[in-house]
Amino acid sequence: MKASLSYFERWFFLGLVIGVFTGLSITALYELVKVFDLLFIKWIVGMDYPEPLGEGGSAQFHFHAERYFLIPLVTALGGLLVGVISILVPEVEGSGTDYAIRSFHRYQGRIRWVVAPFKLLASALTIGSGGSAGEEGPSALISSSLASSMVKFLSTSPEDRRVAVAVGIGAGIGTILKAPIGGAVLSAEILYLRDLEPEVIYPSLVASSISYTIFGFFTGFSPVFGQYTESFDPLRLPLYAVLGVVSGLVGVLYARSFYAVNNAFKKISPRFLRPAIGGALAGCIGLIAPEILGEGTGWINLVELGRLSSLYSPVLPTLVLLALLPFLKIASTSLTVGSGGSGGVYVPALFIGAYLGGAMGLVFHFLFPWMVNSVAPFVVIGMMSVFAAAGKVPLSMLITVTEMTESLQVLPGAMV
C-alpha cells in the first residue's frame, strides 16, 4: 500500500477490509456453534438451553433433558476432538484473546492464517458440546489472525500488522457481543494494564461498525439481552458499592482459579487428552447444575427477569443453586478452558456476575424491601463488575454492557 496515503485513508481501507472478514467469520462461528449444539445437546442429550431475549428467547422457559446422564460424555467428546485439532494447530487452545495480545507485544502481530479456521472449528466444538466458555475469545483470535494475514499480504509495515491485530481483537469481540463501540474501545484498553493504545481506536471503529453490520444482517440487530427497562434509584448506590466490592473479590477468585487449573493441567500427558478430561469434569458439574453448560447467556436473562423457577438442579434447592452458580461457573469454565479447551472467559464472567448480582439482590430485597423491588439492576451491575475485574477493562466494560442492554440507566450504579 502506498506510503503516501494518510493514516486516516490507509486505516479506513484496512479497517473496512478487516471488518468484512471479521463479520463473515464471526457469523460462521455463531452458526457453527448452533450446528454442534443441535448435534450434541439437542439430539444426543435431548436437552434445550434458554436463548437470550435478543436472539429470540422467551422468559417462559422450562428445563427438560431426555438423556441427562450423557452430559459428561458429550463434553468429554467435544474436548477430545479439540485436543486432536490442537495437535495440528496448538494455537487453538485456550481463550484466544491472550494469544492475540501476546502476538501484539512479542511477535510484531504475526499470527498464522491457518489459526482462524481451526480456532473457529475448535471453539464451535467446545461450546456446542456444552463446554463452559464464550464465543468472544475465539472471535478475537479468529479476526486478529485474518487481520494479521491480510496486512502481511498487502506488504505493509510490522507496526501496521500490530495495529491490525489489535483492531481484530476489538472487532471480533464487539461483533459477537453486538457492542461495536465497546469493542473499539476494548481494542485500545485490553492491551495494557494501565494505559490505552489510542492509535487503534479509529480503525477499530471502522472495522467494528462494518463487521457488526454484516453480523447483524444475518443474526439480527437486537441487543443480546434485550432492552433493560429498570429506572435508576440513587438510594441503592450504597448497595451497588457493596456489590462492587464483592464482585471484585469474585473476579480475583475467578482469575486465580483459572490459572491454578491451567497450571495443574500442564502436568497431564498426553497433551491432547487434557481438554477431554477437563470437559468430562465440567460435564459432571453440569449434572448438578446444567445452567453452567455452554455460554449461558439465556440463563442470564432469566435471572434478570426474576424467573428463578426456571432454574433446575436434581440435588440443590433453588436458592442454594442461585447462591452457588457463580462458583460452579468459575469451576466449570476453569476446567473447560484451563484444560486446553477452545473458548472465551469473558462471557462466563458475565454469567458469574449476573448470578452473583441476582443472589445479592435477593438478599437486599429481604433486608430492604422498600428500596429493592427487583434483582434486575443488581444482575446487570454484577455483570459489569465481574467482567471489569476479570478482564481489567473498566472503561470498555461500561460501554459494552450498556450496548448489550440498550440502556443508559445502568451507568450510574456501575460507576460507583
Whether the pLDDT of residue 358 is over 90: the answer is yes
Read out DSSP for 63-79? Answer: --BSSGGGHHHHHHHHH
Rounded Cα–Cα distance for residues 304 and 59 (Å):
10
Burial (CB < 10 A; 0-12, 13-18, 19+), residue 253, is middle
Report whether the peptide linkage leading into residue 72 is cis, meaning its omega lies within 30 degrees of zero. Answer: no
Counts for the chain of helices (H) and strands (E), in that order: 16, 0
For helices 136-153 and 97-106, give the axis angle rounded to 10 degrees: 40
Yes or no: say if 378 and 360 are a contact pair by the CB < 8 Å rule. Answer: yes
Q: Given this model, what pLDDT does residue 57 score?
A: 76
Give the dihedral of Cα atoms 301, 307, 312, 315; nearest 10 deg: 130
Across the range 243-264, mean pLDDT stands at 95
Of 115, 122, 162, 163, residue with least CA distance to 141: 115
Q: Which residue has the cell 502506498?
A: 2
Per-residue buried b or exposed e for 68-96, using 16+ beta carbons within 10 Å of the residue's own CB: eebbbbbbbbbbbbbbebbeebebbbbbb
Q: Given this model, what pLDDT does residue 416 score?
A: 64
How many CB atoms lie under 10 A from the CB of residue 201? 18
Of 172, 71, 178, 49, residue with least CA distance to 120: 172
Rounded Cα–Cα distance for residues 242 and 237 (Å):
9
Beta carbons within 8 Å of 294's beta carbon, 6+ residues apart: 37, 41, 49, 127, 128, 130, 131, 132
Of 120, 124, 125, residue with least CA distance to 142: 120
Whether the pLDDT of residue 211 is over 90: the answer is yes
pLDDT in tens, 39-94: 999 999 999 889 888 887 777 888 888 999 999 999 999 999 999 999 999 999 99
Whether the pLDDT of residue 2 is over 60: the answer is no
Yes or no: say if 140 and 174 are a contact pair by the CB < 8 Å rule. Answer: no
CATH architecture for the domain at 7-219: Orthogonal Bundle (1.10)
- Quick one: pLDDT band at residue 228, thresholds 50, 70, 90? confident
Give the amino acid at 9. E
Instruction: Using DSSP, state whether 29 is helix, strand or coil.
Output: helix
How many CB atoms lie under 10 A from the CB of residue 217? 11
Beta carbons within 8 Å of 251's beta carbon, 6+ residues apart: 349, 385, 386, 388, 389, 390
Cell numbers for 168, please give them: 481484530
How many CB atoms lie under 10 A from the CB of residue 10? 18
- What are φ and ψ of residue 213, in 5° steps? -65, -45
pLDDT in tens, 397-409: 888 888 888 777 7
Q: Given this model, what pLDDT does residue 174 score?
A: 94
Portion of the chain with pLDDT greater than 70, in percent: 97
Domain(s) of CATH 1.10.3080.10: residues in the chain: 7-219
Runs of H (alpha helix) within 289-317: 297-304
Cell numbers for 260, please give them: 491454578
Higher pLDDT among residues 227 and 338, named by residue: 338
Across the range 273-292, mean pLDDT stands at 97
Cell numbers for 153, please give them: 499480504
Beta carbons within 8 Å of 26's beta carbon, 6+ residues apart: 135, 139, 142, 143, 172, 175, 176, 211, 215
Cell numbers for 208, please give them: 467494528
Rounded Cα–Cα distance for residues 203 and 147 (Å):
12
Yes or no: say if 16 and 164 are a contact pair by the CB < 8 Å rule. Answer: no
pLDDT in tens, 171-200: 999 999 999 999 999 999 988 877 788 889
Read out DSSP for 154-211? Answer: TT--HHHHHHHHHHHHHHHHHHHTT-HHHHHHHHHHTT-SS---GGGHHHHHHHHHHH
